[in-house]
Amino acid sequence: MTEKLSDTARETMLAPLFDSGWEMVEGRDAIHKTFKFDDFADAFSWMTRAAIWAEKWDHHPEWFNVYNTVEVTLSTHDVGGLSSLDAKLARKFDAL
């Protein structure tokens, strides 16, 4: 079962994400990042690849797409905040 990140796990798992552009969402226990691409086709292609991983890991992002921009927010609703799944998915999204 997935659990909310402990204070120690937050420091370890979130610090590298903050270095790569992820930020805490004000008023929520969630992280957010804006991804920019050359055009809509590149953005949509990235979203498709990201969706495959999200489905595989049964952990789905909140996201919004306009033209070449994809805004992603991650939080684990079942635990009421950030879990290791959010950090794992964020790392995968960065790698795509």
The model's pLDDT over 30-81, given as tens digits with 9 standing for 90+, comes to 999 999 999 999 999 999 999 999 999 999 999 999 999 999 999 999 999 9
With a cut of 90, say whether residue 2 has pLDDT above it: no
Q: Buried b vs exposed e over 5-37: b needs ≥16 C-beta within 10 Å?
A: beeeebeebbeebeeeebeeeeeebbbbbebeb
With a cut of 80, say whether residue 1 has pLDDT above it: no
User: What structural domains does the chain harbor?
Assistant: 7-94 (3.30.1360.20)
Q: pLDDT at position 86, please?
A: 97
Q: Which two tokens stand for residue 55?
A: 């489905």
What CA–CA distance (Å, rounded) separates 39 from 52? 21
**pTM, 2 dp:** 0.94
Rounded to the nearest 5 degrees, what angle is found at the Cα of 35, between the Cα atoms of 65 and 20?
Answer: 150
